[in-house]
Chains A and B, each alone.
Chain A
């Protein structure tokens, strides 16, 4: 490929960046940068000059007023990521602090408090039980003998409440009682040493906060478009993650009509972790799709012809999270992988991994970010590798010896202070030796034949750093389109650049120019203003869903004779895929009078007033209506997930088990009457013969639509009284039935996935989002204090001792209720204890309960999820999710 005969003039300096900088809102406007003599030759009397920026570009116009959904929302509600208000300290004091430039204050105490309240068993388990008898939470005065060994906690609780109310008060003093209590028991009360727990929690908080500020795990985006084969039908394939935990991978056929629509059902793969990145490249007519989650990377092959099924080829596992996966555009089945420890691998499906570099340090200067990236270059054996400070190219055949610097954050590229590499991308489809590098301030186009000096630079002015980029190469002589996408703000920006071949100058390449002005495209959230007003809570849910951070970007050009259009797909973290079409208008004339839109009020734009009566507007409106309906259905389908699940033990036990001797039953009354009558009459009762002693009526069938599952069959049998017979059947070793039961349970577990509320998941667990699919979903909130188990309140031994009703707000002792010991002392037979546990474990879908040792005195928890979380607290933080590719 030819090198431009002359480049735009520029200074070249070395060393760290000198220009002081910061986000500049308009830095990209009004500058030509440099000019170069070019254009229609020197034959004429005057030389003609072309600017580096500001040349006329192609004109693309949005066809619709907003982005339109491509796919219907998947069933089940999406769990939003934590918001700043979830983890930041909120109070007047804090605002004052922040004004004093101390940055954000993380509400550490609140999170720790959440942990104690949500997981009392993990926090205070053993001592809680030991001291159970010595703490009294009632209001009444303690009697003399008890007072020796019991303390009344009510006052302490009141003190704490008062403290909470006074938070932020400058004259805040710790109550002395609280102080001595904490002084006394800080060292021994906690199950996990407090310091350790606090460290872990703090680290997790910091991690969550930094993710909120900038989450680089999404770099590259998790959406890919596999275009149809040349000249084939306009059916491409969209590769995107989905499901509640974004752990399913879908290959969906999409027909490119006026409004792209899904065709048929997608090929689907369930993975073990959250999909962070989907990368694709076409080699020799076949698409190779690389998928990255935190600890696993996989590659699929998709044959070019439409309808061919994707085949998984290979999976690798990494010990530290992978931060990059790119697919080679040159050789089939070759990918490059980077991990956060600074290791770069060349991965070929046939031969496995080849380590090219291992360096935990950054390349050009020190930067704390563990993020690494790598991509391919014009030479199939030369890979680029990047960190926040720049890019280097390595030869895979001799990675130690052969390398050169491609881009450096420094004076070489005219960077600003504090500028960092956000996303590098090989632009091979536009030009084999060109490279795109985005930083939080600017975009650069580099040519690997002239390293370090950007051939194009432009301040993109985006509010959030562009984590996604997509290239749409233009035909020879046309400009190339580059789409930049940000995650948090959902911004989408369309840029054009060209390095066209000018025929007048002997076929040599001319230097790269930015063409046209940058253009903002519709974001997913932008459609909100066009949707009909909903009920407030629905509106809130809708808004939350539509403004979820973007998670990927893909686009395709569609040429239909003279009509050319661009379809841009955007994926959100909620798993929604929206698209918009831009139509190509004839080349932008210098100043056409018709181009200016009429002036409108701020905030609105004439684009949004697209004629709803036009057939296309109508189709979009229809699409929206269907999408909204599906969304509301998906959210209503599982209404109980929005509340804290509560269990009624009425369905678990026979009435005999539950009924306390509170009031005389009708039978008793009857008997009593008869006794009275007999006494009055002076007669005697020969036989206690109730007139109509019948078992209580069967409760309504509990089973869901799926038919009676063994559990409800068992409970129903128990209820009806022929439980013994059922047990006989059960114990007779019926293999098939057991298997079926197991399968059923697994299915339920799957279905129940993703039901926990996010704030609970975060505040109560020291785990990462990526482990979402691993965690028990309903578990943590099950034990939340606001909604203690109904079971614990009403359960009482059937033996006639008077029922002591414990006050509802003391969670700690209640947890023990489900232990085998407490169940036994409640008179629940041993085999039924197992039933109860099974039932609960279905609810909490933790790992299966180990078989109960006979006569075990150990207090075993019925909710195993909290145990697993406990262990995570004392282990290194990043746990590996289970393998499941």
Chain B
């Protein structure tokens, strides 16, 4: 019966697909390609209402094979992609985008640009939400490529101006690239998402043309709009922008403070700490201590000598001045049950000493103050340092011994 026929057809289709899948997962591209030529027949009776239909499967599998097949060429790939674009209306934009990505990764920027322009002008009835998103992305990538052309022209212009003559045509062209790029980039970064590249390029454009207010607004929006994900880079870009603008310490600190609140382990926390330590205000110095303690809580910072030296410097300062010992005490309170095992074990003392002497020096100083002179880490490192006759470590031992009462006050 026809029903049975359909069933068998479906079955053989599935079997074929599983062979293809098997070949792909074992990197047997040739074998996969041969099966795919058989699988194309499945297009003929495509009644499926499945999530991914045969035409999409052929597109995906074919692309994958052509990426890896030893005998495939870019020309063949382009040809295949063109065919795939016509195979399904719903997927046209998606296939276009992927085609462009491949061209970009292979350095064919101009072809990519052409494809983007072509895709941009494509219209087919009512657009679905997904197609809308894809269209926006296509425009944004075109904007990005326009930006690169702009920056190329800009570099030419800058070189020329160094030579002392200006080229009006180049300048004209550059401005037109700017307009095209700005329009498209501006659009996409309004939509919630992660648009690091687009934002960076757009801000670069605006800054070049002196539109700092717009740039600031864009960056503020990107960093602080609650509809956007909490992207640390948004805050970094804002901070870098403010720095470039020569903004006051206060606004820099407030930008970094927010970054500290969302990502206490960000690498900018060292800069933040240095900035705060230099401050005259007690409150800021206090925040600096908090920042560096919080950063060192994270496993990624465990062996960061720079961070430990920041902490060591500030702790030393406080101990010498004997003011604000309560700051250390407060920070230490929530850490004293796990920092000793996390940072100051005998095993780590040995390893740090072997791998990085200056790290072990900074850590030993902090350990000696926080845990007293009998702490394992300090004892091991100072002993090794004295044995190796390093003056630094002898001084360290003296310092810690002299200030041992501090430890009692902190732990008490």
Contact = CB atoms under 8 A, between A and B. Distances in A.
B235 to A, nearest CB: 10
Given A432-B300, A519-B25, A453 B194 contact: yes
Contact of B192 (A6, A12, A381, A518): A12
A26 B17 contact: yes
B70 A30 contact: no
A470 B281 CA distance: 49
B338 A605 contact: no
Contact of A379 (B18, B299, B334, B341): B299
B9 interface: no
A735 to B, nearest CB: 51
Contact of A7 (B64, B133, B231, B342): B231
B26 interface: yes
B255 interface: no
B167 interface: no
A433 B300 contact: yes
Contact of A596 (B19, B70, B152): B70
Interface in B139-169: 140, 144, 148, 151-152
A378 interface: yes
A381 B298 contact: no
Interface string B28-44: 11110011000000000
B191 interface: yes
B60 A26 contact: yes
Interface in B94-117: 98, 101-102, 104-105, 107, 109
B139 to A, nearest CB: 12
Interface stretch (B50-58, B390-398, B404-412): B50-58
A594 B19 CA distance: 22
Given A449-B266, A596-B29, A597-B31, A24 B52 contact: yes
A47 B148 contact: yes
A12 B267 contact: no
B72 interface: yes
B67 A7 contact: no
Given A30-B59, A599-B30, A593 B21 contact: no
* B: interface residue count bin: 35 or more
B267 A3 contact: yes
Contact of A24 (B51, B72, B129): B51
B229 interface: yes
Contact of A25 (B17, B144, B198): B17
B21 A26 contact: yes
A31 B99 CA distance: 9
B327 interface: no
B104 A3 contact: no
Contacts of B133: 11
B265 A433 contact: yes
Given A1-B267, A5-B233, A597-B30, A13 B192 contact: yes
B21 A35 contact: no
Contact of B229 (A30, A380, A450, A605): A450
B101 A35 contact: yes
Contacts of B195: 9
B187 interface: no
B230 interface: yes
B193 interface: yes
Contacts of B290: none
Contact of B194 (A7, A30, A49): A7
B226 to A, nearest CB: 10
B62 interface: yes
A607 interface: yes
Contacts of A36: 197
A113 interface: no
A689 to B, nearest CB: 87
Interface in A35-75: 35-37, 42, 45-51, 54
B52 A50 contact: no
Contact of A450 (B35, B57, B232): B232
Given A26-B52, A32-B101, A32-B102, A520 B342 contact: no
B228 A12 contact: yes
Contact of A45 (B25, B69, B152, B192): B152
A285 B349 CA distance: 12
Interface in A588-629: 591-600, 602-603, 605-607
Contacts of A24: 50-52
Contact of B26 (A381, A602, A605): A605
B229 A453 contact: yes
A322 interface: no
A29 B60 contact: yes
A1 B17 CA distance: 43
Contacts of A1: 265, 267, 298, 300-301
A605 B104 contact: no
B191 to A, nearest CB: 7
Contacts of B243: none
Q: Among A20, A284, A592, A593, find the residue whose CB has the most chain B CB atoms closer than 10 A.
A: A284
B98 A10 contact: no
A331 interface: yes
B93 interface: no
12 contacts: A3-B266, A9-B198, A10-B194, A11-B192, A22-B50, A37-B197, A51-B102, A331-B342, A453-B231, A517-B27, A519-B26, A595-B29
Interface of B: 17-22, 24-31, 34-35, 50-52, 57, 59-64, 67-72, 98, 101-102, 104-105, 107, 109, 129, 133, 137, 140, 144, 148, 151-152, 191-198, 200, 227-233, 236, 263, 265-267, 297-301, 334, 338, 341-342, 345, 347-348
Given A8-B194, A12-B193, 8 more contacts: A12-B229, A24-B50, A26-B17, A37-B197, A45-B152, A451-B230, A453-B229, A520-B22
